[in-house]
Structure 1
Amino acid sequence: MEEIKHGPIGVFDSGYGGISVLANLIESMPGESFVFLSDSKNAPYGELEPEEVLNHTVTNVEILNSQAVNAVVIACNTATSAAVQTLRSKYLFPIIGMEPAVKPAVNKTGSGRVLVAATDLTLKEKKFASLIESIDHQNEIITLPCIGLVDKIEEHGPESPEVDQKIDELLEPYMSLNFDGVVLGCTHYVLVKDKWRSKFPSDTVFYDGNEGTVRQTIRMLKYYKQVISNCPPARVCIMDSSQNDDRLAQCKKLLMNQLEVNRKISMDQLHIELRKTDELCKF
């Protein structure tokens, strides 16, 4: 395998959701540099046509490419479904995608009932159908297209009562059922995992694709002969397609909140800068 030059790791999502993945990446590689790009101007992706998602994703990954990244993590299940194959054929550096964590949920729940919450587009894409077909299982898998939830998270923030009310509305038809596992198949939903947990019995197990994505990122960097630094500080450059300063500040706040909740890295081991998409990050 041809070596790639060392550079920052790009992380892309349509909005706030990818912050949860970014936090996990920083915790696992606390000496690396990261460029996070959210495309709030075109969010939410889960309610767009596949071709639109493909075009937006390609455009934004090219912005990350201009920052001399050595890998890109597509921290969005919907963008992965629509664009990952095109991106892998276009770039030499590794493209790491995400998929709903159905496999680990099925493996750990035996023959139990599993709820998969994801965007409408993720659940309709062939990639998800292929994922289900590839799993040898006896489970009852129920899919829940969460239309409108990403909008609420983006518009009102993860802690808002509007988000809580939307989750109640989405779950209402299913609350008479018992679920052994719940898969949060969108990175936005991981930001509000506590709200999801509050709707189910305490023994319900929740799954998301973040940890698997981090492991795959590390595997791919090693495969491409990259030396991974674990010596802080981590350096993070945050960008957003809206070019809105308030939006950038909110992304920074959410990242710091995620890291403080997880308590795996201290804030003095982190350097964060906010940039426009046409500005070079300074590492």
Structure 2
Amino acid sequence: MDKNSPIGIFDSGVGGTSIWKEVVKLLPFEHTIYLADSINAPYGDKSTDDIIALSIKNVEKLLSLKCKIIIVACNTATTNAISVLRNKYDIPIIGIEPAIKPAALQTNSKSIGILATKGTLSSALFSKTTKEFTKDINVVEIIGEGLVTLIEKGNLDGPEMMALLKKHIQPMIDANVDYLVLGCSHYPYIIPQLKMILPDNVKIIDSGEAVAKQTKTILQSLDLLREETSAPTLQFYTNAKTRTLEFLLKEYSKIITIEKKDF
């Protein structure tokens, strides 16, 4: 494997760019290729077989682009397909799971909220993780129905988004949660809106930084960190319109390329 090969990242759309930002912050000299499978978003309401098939399709594309490691920047794809992908491919594959463990260990109210897609909340891996860490804790699981669709359109703070969030979050407020775990890589983009609704004492946790650290650890252990300090190539491919990617990544516009591509 070549140290100069890119890190490959895929998601069911634009949400995984929240993970990409953490990776680039920690590993600023690495080449990256990001696949936004927006035409098939959201994965959260698809069957397990469909999620596995889409994940395989995305990995095959990233392998064809000579990636040295792959990040599954999608909670639904991780919880439903990661074991299949790791059994099928030799390349290191990093997944993203809701950060239930830190929330469960740190809660004072013994009540935590998890906002995720149906596909994540109904998966066997999610169920196993939740049971392992939340034995004496009240867990309020809410399916964030409609949120991914709005985020994919770039609609982060319109009245429709705020009304949906209030509906989803109220049961958590009623249950006195003091941690909200974001179980979808799209959701970090609506943290400002969530903070407007949640009481001040509620802490919001997502998995982006942990995924970036894990990526660095694995690349170091395999001696695959890029040694050059020249500017890396940062490529984004989407099979839908580029508008939302451009909006979410506008501060990086001078150093990235975004293309519409079939995959």
Alignment of 1:184-203 (within 5 A): 184-203=182-201
Helix, strand or coil at the partner of 2:67? coil
CA contact (8 A) 1:77 1:99 kept: yes
Out of 203, 206, 209, the residue aligned to residue 205 of structure 1 is 203
User: Residue 126 of structure 2 aligns to which amino acid in structure 1?
Assistant: F
Alignment of 1:91-170 (within 5 A): 91-110=89-108, 112-135=110-133, 137-170=135-168
Helix, strand or coil at the partner of 1:141? strand
CA contact (8 A) 1:111 1:140 kept: no
CA distance, structure 2, for counterparts of residue 16 and residue 158 of structure 1: 13
Helix, strand or coil at the partner of 1:175? helix
CA contact (8 A) 2:70 2:93 kept: yes
- 1:253 and 2:250 equivalent? no
CA distance, structure 2, for counterparts of residue 65 and residue 232 of structure 1: 24
Equivalent residue, structure 2, for 1:271: 255
CA distance, structure 2, for counterparts of residue 229 and residue 21 of structure 1: 22
TM-superposed CA distance for 1:172, in Å, is 3.3
Equivalent residue, structure 2, for 1:59: 57
Helix, strand or coil at the partner of 1:55? helix
Out of 2, 20, 28, the residue aligned to residue 5 of structure 1 is 2
TM-superposed CA distance for 1:232, in Å, is 5.7
Deviation per CA, 1:123-178, whole angstroms, max 9, x where unpaired? Answer: 01000111012226532111111122111222353233322221112223443332
Identity value in percent: 31
CA distance, structure 2, for counterparts of residue 200 and residue 55 of structure 1: 37
| Alpha-carbon RMSD | 2.0
Equivalent residue, structure 2, for 1:262: none
CA contact (8 A) 1:63 1:277 kept: no
Q: What residue ranges of structure 1 are gaps of 5+ in the alignment? A: 260-266
The 10-residue stretch of structure 1 (111-120 or 75-84) with the greater mean CA deviation from structure 2: 111-120
CA distance, structure 1, for counterparts of residue 42 and residue 129 of structure 2: 23
CA distance, structure 2, for counterparts of residue 235 and residue 159 of structure 1: 31
CA distance, structure 2, for counterparts of residue 105 and residue 234 of structure 1: 35
Count of equivalent residues: 262
User: Residue 74 of structure 2 aligns to which amino acid in structure 1?
Assistant: C
The 10-residue stretch of structure 1 (138-147 or 65-74) with the greater mean CA deviation from structure 2: 138-147
Is the alpha carbon distance of 1:155 and 1:251 closer, same or farther for their aligned partners in structure 2, counting shifts above 3 Å?
A: closer
Stretches of 4+ aligned residues off by more than 4 angstroms: none
TM-superposed CA distance for 1:87, in Å, is 1.1
User: Residue 5 of structure 1 aligns to which amino acid in structure 2?
Assistant: D
CA distance, structure 2, for counterparts of residue 183 and residue 90 of structure 1: 30
Is the alpha carbon distance of 1:117 and 1:86 closer, same or farther for their aligned partners in structure 2, counting shifts above 3 Å?
A: same
TM-score by length of 2: 0.92
Equivalent residue, structure 2, for 1:18: 16
CA contact (8 A) 2:113 2:172 kept: no
Q: What residue ranges of structure 2 are gaps of 5+ in the alignment? A: none
